[in-house]
Amino acid sequence: MTGLTPAWGPASAEGWLDSYLSAAAVLDTLRTYDGPAYDAVVLAGFGEHGPEGVRELVDVPVVDITEAAAHLACLLGRRYGVVTTLDRSCGQIEDSLETAGVARNCAAVVGTGLGVLDLAGDPGRPEAAFLTAAERARDAGAEVLVLGCAGMTGLQRAVGEKLGLPVVDGVAAAVKLAESLVTLDLTTSRAGSHQQPLPKERRWGRRPAR
């Protein structure tokens, strides 16, 4: 597994501007990638834009951590909840779940009030904030929880035990789903929505096209 971070874009994605900038940077990264071949792409921005564009671009399966977490969560209980970073991101996540087709069983998306970069500090702080937000999701009917940010990866065991609920990490979920699609020899449909990008001039930032 190779991790790629775009050479440009925002330091972290919190809100729509960051998300669109990040989507373009991710697409540029994959478009110009010339490393070893790969079997699948996992997109690790929770609730962020981009997956449909990546599906147009590459011929291998593409799995986003948002949808991956939601798909597995649906298998573990009747309703799931997402606990994420800032409140401002909740609406964007709800929209992502809706267009991915998995919002129906989502009971709530709840913010912890912590920014993405706050997650890197003292591990106790995210855990406490997660537990508080998780109670709100539970009161709204969630029987399963989803870590609503790739930066929360690693929390699932500790908070799951304290809450007595299954907690899904989207990154791990997406890797497993990507492996599953590869094994089953399945990849994105080219019929209808996700056709390859049409050949045309495109400039990726203020530099000459290529």
Residues 45-104 that bind its own copies (CB under 8 A): 49-50, 52-57, 61-63, 67, 71-72, 74-79, 87-88, 90-92, 95, 98-104
Does residue 112 belong to the site contacting its own copies (CB under 8 A)?
A: no
Task: Choose, by CB under 8 A, the member of 7, 34, 37, 122 that binds its own copies.
Answer: 7
Mark the segment that binds its own copies (CB under 8 A) among 120-128, 129-137, 147-155, 162-170: 162-170
Give the closest residue to 69 by CA, choosing from 84, 78, 82, 87. 82
Mark residue 50 as left, alpha or beta (left: phi above 0; alpha: psi -120 to 50; beta: remaining): left
> Beta 41-43 vs 62-64: how paired, if at all?
parallel
Task: Choose, by CB under 8 A, the member of 122, 124, 201, 210 that binds its own copies.
Answer: 201
Q: How many residues bind its own copies (CB under 8 A)?
A: 93
Task: Choose, by CB under 8 A, the member of 4, 17, 120, 161 that binds its own copies.
Answer: 17
Residues with Cβ < 8 Å from 94, sequence gap 6 or more?
103, 106, 109
> Chain-centre distance of CA 98, in angstroms?
14
Does residue 153 belong to the site contacting its own copies (CB under 8 A)?
A: no
Burial status of residue 59 (CB atoms within 10 A of its CB: 0-12, 13-18, 19 or more): exposed
Does residue 20 belong to the site contacting its own copies (CB under 8 A)?
A: yes
